[in-house]
Amino acid sequence: MKKNWTAKTNRKWKRFFAVGCSHGHLADPNALDTVLDFKKRWKPDLTIHLGDFLDLSPMMMNGRKAETDGSRLADDFVAGVTFLEQLEPQLIFAGNHEDRIPKLQEHSNSIISYAAEQVGLELEKVVRGLKAEYVPYDIQSGWREVGDTRFGHGYMFSENALRDHAELVGKCVIAHLHKPGQVRARRLEGATGVCVGTLANIPAMAYAKTQKSRCAWNHGFVFGEYCEGKGAETISWLIEKGTNGWRLPI
């Protein structure tokens, strides 16, 4: 027993920090300040943005939303990448919102396709400047393993979506759902799925103003420790904003 305990405690543990769904110009300033301040204190070896760092609402509906959407694409882009540059992640995931960029690059309207190409080129410059890996949005290949846990934006959306992700890929940390939480999957070897929640100004997410699911949204993030190689493991801790504000462990 002593030998096994010693072997486990001698593993080299590293720290990670993960956020998601900040949504560009719709981000909540207090939430952004909170996670940036926490990162400084936690000093992670690996920082991850799980996607939807841009909102890109004018690109919705195959670009037709631009005719009625009042937000400025340029302002949204600047806000989103400014937070990325402050966060300094090594891993950046494309979410379903960023996935609008490559989709519209194939648009039959040359003005829309050109605009999407320019946004894509500017985003590539930002990612290169950060020396980060940018992970495209794909349910099969859009995951990266840290320790024994897969990180990705998230793809399914329902009341059981977090459980479904864990049953699909095993232990995982996602964003996408805006609802912080964790759930144990129905797998023989066991697996826990964790959702980081959102960093957006929730009342400003007007597209969901009639959806009951928005009542479950909240600010949050995930941090933890991981070790690699033989006996790889990841321990994840979810922090959710309380009714009266944030109460942080450090």
Phi and psi dihedrals of 171, rounded to 5? -55, 130
Q: What is the pLDDT of residues 217-241, one digit of tens each?
A: 999 999 999 999 999 999 999 999 9
> Reduced to 3 DSSP states, what percent helix, strand and coil does the chain have, rounded to the nearest 5?
40, 20, 40
- Write the single-letter amino acid at 238: L
CA distance 79 to 72: 11
Q: Mind listing the pLDDT tens digit for each residue in 99-155?
A: 999 988 888 788 888 888 999 999 999 999 999 999 999 999 999 999 999 999 999
Place of tokens 């009639």: 210
What pLDDT digit, counting tens, does each position of 182-205 carry? 999 999 989 999 999 999 999 998
Q: What is the pLDDT of residue 197?
A: 98
Look-up: residue for tokens 């190689």? 229
SS3 call for 125: helix
Residue 206 in this model has a pLDDT that exceeds 90: no
Inter-residue contact 172 to 193 (CB < 8 Å): yes
